[in-house]
Amino acid sequence: MTRSILAALALSAATVMPASAFDISAMSEAEKAAFGDAVREFLMANPEVLIESINVLEERQQAQAAENDKLLVQTNAKDIFEDGYSWVGGNPEGDVTIVEFMDYRCTYCRKAYTEVEKLLEQDDNIRFVVKEFPILGEESELSGRFAVAVHQLAGDEAYKTIHDALIAFRGAVTLDSLSKLAESNGLDADAIVKRMNEEEVTAVLRANHQLAERMRISGTPAFVIGGELMRGYAPVDVMAKIVKDQRG
């Protein structure tokens, strides 16, 4: 048996078999050196094997990450889907729930907004929940607090109006600009601004941040679609496919 064949078999054993089944520490120094030379010789002659091994490893890691994310969703299901304070849109009785962790100053959240709206228009059996998750600085924090305050004081319809307006807003976010936004939509700006700094609003944002931390969500947008966690932006057809899969 040639050194290359030996190296191939050894490499296969090292990457496929459990670590306990391949113990290089049991080799003598001379055997270790010979083994290393043989593996190097084999890989230089057959570099595609290394690429294949890396691809297999990445596939396994991705599969494991997906399983870990499903477990996170299951473990935190009540706080994700039924927190009692987040705005619920779409069809409140829908058979699949989509939850979005979002930030109004996030470019990809703005792109995702358009895709989600398309999806809800196409599919009237989706329940949609928004988690205010401001993480991009002071303007994000102000926007998130404003939206939550509007929801708490003026209800679901006003929240949806303000949510849409904040997504489209391109100016500097300040208390003054938010007050003007409230007034232009017939809302009590003074009451909303006052509410923004009260514990009722802070508690919502704190709970969302704590949930995101448990879910290992560090960026926006992030979606929970049924039992699946999707990190990042995706076009409407990708989200529709996940919804379909969730329905079985």
90-99 pLDDT per residue, tens = 999 999 999 9
Specify whether 115 is located in the same domain as 142. yes
* Boundary-marking domain end, from 12, 39, 69: 69
76 burial type by CB count under 10 A (0-12 exposed, 13-18 middle, 19+ buried): middle
Task: State the residue for tokens 């290089």.
Answer: 24
Same domain, 121 and 27: no
Residues 215-238: what's their mean pLDDT?
96
Residues 54 and 164 reside in one and the same domain: no
Q: Are residues 97 and 186 in the same domain?
A: yes
What residues make up the domain containing 39?
Answer: 3-69
Q: C-alpha distances in angstroms, 167 versus 143, 160, 163, 232?
A: 10, 11, 6, 17
Number of domains present in the structure of the chain = 2
| Count of residues making up the chain | 248
87-90: strand order across its sheet: 87-90, 126-132, 96-102, 222-225, 228-231
Q: Is the pLDDT of residue 161 over 90?
A: yes
Residue 163 to residue 87: CA distance in whole angstroms: 10
Same domain, 55 and 161: no
Verify that 196 and 217 share a domain, yes or no: yes
**What would the pLDDT profile of 63-110 be if each residue is shown by its tens digit?**
676 778 899 999 999 999 999 999 999 999 999 999 999 999 999 999
Residue with the larger pLDDT of the pair 35 and 184 = 184
Q: Tell whether 121 and 179 lie within a shared domain.
A: yes
Residues 18, 91 within the same domain: no
Q: What does the pLDDT look like over 3-54, one tens digit per residue? A: 544 455 455 555 544 545 557 777 788 888 888 888 888 878 887 877 777 7
Would strands 126-132 and 87-90 be described as parallel, antiparallel, or unpaired? antiparallel
What proportion of the chain, given as a percentage, has pLDDT over 70? 88
SS3 96: strand
Query: Among 21, 41, 69, which residue terminates a domain?
Result: 69
Q: Are residues 54 and 105 in the same domain?
A: no
90 and 213 in a common domain: yes
Domain stops at, among 11, 34, 69 = 69
Same domain, 83 and 57: no
| Same-domain pairing of 51 and 161 | no
